[in-house]
Amino acid sequence: MTSAYISAIAALCGSVIGALVSIATTWLTQHHQEESRRRAQEYTRRERIFVEFIDLSSKAYVDALLETSIKDPAKVVSLYATMGKLRLFASGGIVEAAEKVMSRILETYYGPKFDLENRPAVDHTSDILREFSERCRAELRAYEH
């Protein structure tokens, strides 16, 4: 073999290796971008469901404090629908905390009513969403990393 052949083969091998590296780099970059996009969408979906549950729970709880029975079932049905979404996407701890909130709301509908004339005793048990919110925050923080 002459040195011309060796030079030509070396140049060809160099070109093939360069092309393979370029293809691999492009694939890895796209894969990483796709994974980042998917994680961001999942994070946003979870955040949206958590906020939806908090909003609906708050409204239902206020209604439960003031009403002697469930006068507008749509408030509770919407909450159950959001609970189903939580079961699809959230961890077991969050679902457990959400179930406690639901139970507390239903108990409140049939318990003693809130007196708007007198200042109620407010303590840590009045915040029915605290455990749920803290678990959601922890899950979202863990999902960021």
Tell me the domain boundaries of the chain: 41-144
Supply the mean pLDDT for the chain.
86
Give 33-59 pLDDT, tens digit per residue. 898 888 889 889 999 999 999 999 999
Give 122-145 pLDDT, tens digit per residue. 666 678 999 999 999 999 998 776
User: Residue ranges of the alpha helices (H) in the chain?
Assistant: 3-66, 73-89, 92-109, 130-144
Give 73-107 pLDDT, tens digit per residue. 888 899 999 999 999 989 999 999 999 999 999 99
**Percentage, residues of the chain above pLDDT 70:** 92
d(CA 52, CA 136): 12
pLDDT surpasses 90 at 70: no
Exposed, middle or buried: residue 26 (CB in 10 Å: 0-12, 13-18, 19+)?
Answer: exposed
The more confident residue out of 81 and 13 is 81
| DSSP helix/strand/coil, 68 | coil
Residues 63-70 have a mean pLDDT of 86
d(CA 67, CA 116): 12
pLDDT of res. 123:
61
